[in-house]
């Protein structure tokens, strides 16, 4: 079973599990992880599989610390992007950045919680 990722979820905690070839984003409550489903497709939450490269993400920063870009290890040019539109509110897809890299819409801030 998989669930679509929506930014409308409040008070959701994620654990970032780092690996040499990309990090996994784990939903703390369920232990499920975020999956890349292809360019232009919505990201989903699925059962965690540490061997699945579609569940690995590269976190890069453009400046000192924040914001960061979260891009697929499968396609480093495909970054997590919120979708704009009346029927798309909260939807997060994998989308290409510009030739210079990710766009401003693809910036994320990660907060550490105790």
Residues 75-96 have pLDDT tens digits of 988 988 888 766 666 788 888 8
| pTM of the full structure | 0.77
Residue among 52, 106, 42 at smallest CA distance from 79: 106
CA dist., res. 3 & res. 45, Å (int): 5
Architecture label for domain 13-106: Trefoil (2.80)
CA dist., res. 101 & res. 70, Å (int): 12
Domain spans of the chain, in order of start: 13-106
pLDDT digits 0-9 by tens, 23-74? 888 888 889 999 999 999 989 889 999 889 999 998 887 665 667 888 999 9
């Amino acid at each position: 079973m998989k669930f679509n990722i929506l930014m409308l979820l409040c008070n959701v905690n994620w654990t970032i599990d780092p690996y040499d070839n990309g990090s996994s984003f784990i939903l703390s409550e369920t232990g499920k992880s975020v999956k890349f489903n292809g360019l232009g497709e919505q990201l989903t939450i699925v059962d965690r599989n540490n061997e699945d490269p579609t569940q690995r993400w590269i976190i890069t920063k453009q400046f000192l610390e924040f914001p960061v870009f979260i891009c697929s290890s499968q396609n480093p040019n495909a970054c997590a992007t919120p979708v704009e539109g009346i029927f798309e509110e909260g939807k997060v897809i994998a989308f290409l950045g510009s030739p210079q890299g990710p766009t401003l819409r693809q910036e994320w801030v990660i907060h550490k919680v105790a």
